[in-house]
Amino acid sequence: MSAGADRLRPEWTSLPLVLRARIMDAIGGRFVRDEPAQSGFSASYAGVVTTTRGKAFVKACARDWHPDSLHFLRAEMQVLATMPATIAPAVRGEIDEAVGAALVLEAIDGHHPGSPWSADDLHSIATTLSILSSTRAPLGLAGAADSMLPDFTRWEQIARDERLLAGLPDAVRSRMSDLLRIERDFPAVVDGDVILHDDVRADNILISDGRARFVDWPNARRGAPWVDLPCLLPSIEASGGPSCAEAWPLFEEHGAPPVHDMLPVISGFASYLWFAQAQPEIPLLPGLRTFQRAQALPALG
């Protein structure tokens, strides 16, 4: 599995002319070029747009494109308006018109981790996760204890599904009674008042001058510190980095709790991945199930 997620997104010229004009107003100057970002699971346009005045990272979705992508873009606008620049890109413009919506952001000159994974990059990510885990969530953000259900509590459904149950590694299937017991603790463990990114992975991280910042915030929630960590580590292992067990102590150096304290989150994310990877493909989001399947086995481990 690649360190991030790859897909073909819509082109800049496919955006409605009115929406492109508003984006140019937000950046300033005349259009020079765009460099599309072919990663992530969204049907929106995403890329760096350069003008005679500078450049910005743009995410945009026309009204008649994928409805969920438009919804996520609007949700991200609300979150980023309150985020500190230490952990997220600065907002340069928000556009929400009848023809669609666009988010114009600071273009971070950095690299995605994972090609290959390095200890320096992992420490940078751990530092930002530590900051995130002490940053209060914006008012009105959905609480994890409610909004992560039922997606992160799928073991009962998996136990009733012969196909899903049969595909599990023997060591996991034999512990189903333990998993069902641990699942009951999930809402209490994720409850809290700090902000959660809820989709930290390589293609949603940019590292510049040793500092990691997280991008793509539509799934942000309010919850307990370090809930993002168990959801990050399987993607690192699946893309050739250290195993979840090997990486966890590095994050403990930055304040992460012991692995045992996060077992309900680890178990919950594993149940989400195993359930989701078996669902039908979404035509507008090709590759999503394969991406989830690649992370499921490290998470189950």
DSSP code at position 255:
T
CA–CA separation, 217 vs 84, rounded Å? 13
The pair of three-digit structure tokens given for residue 124, joined into one six-digit string: 């940078």
The confidence score (pLDDT) of residue 115 equals 85
Distance CA 232, CA 90 (A): 23
Any idea which residue has 């915030």 for tokens? 217
- C-alpha of 113 from chain center: 14
DSSP code string of 131-196: HHTTSBPPTTPPBHHHHTTTTT--HHHHHH-HHHHHHS-HHHHTTHHHHHHHHTTHHHHH--SEEE
Using alpha carbons only, give the angle 281, 284, 287 rounded to the nearest 5 degrees.
50
Gap between the Cα atoms of 243 and 131, Å rounded: 23
Distance, in Å, from the CA atom of 234 to the CA atom of 248, rounded to the nearest integer, reads: 11
Low-confidence stretches of the chain (pLDDT < 70) are: 1-8, 38-42
Inter-CA distances, 179 with 37, 59, 261, Å: 38, 39, 15
Of the candidates 84, 37, 87, the one whose C-alpha atom is nearest the C-alpha of residue 212 is 87
Residue 95 · residue 26 · CB < 8 Å: yes
| Predicted pLDDT of residue 240 | 93
**For 94-109, how does the pLDDT look when each residue is reduced to its tens digit (9 = 90+)?**
999 999 999 999 999 9
Tens digits of residue pLDDT in 178-191: 999 999 999 999 99
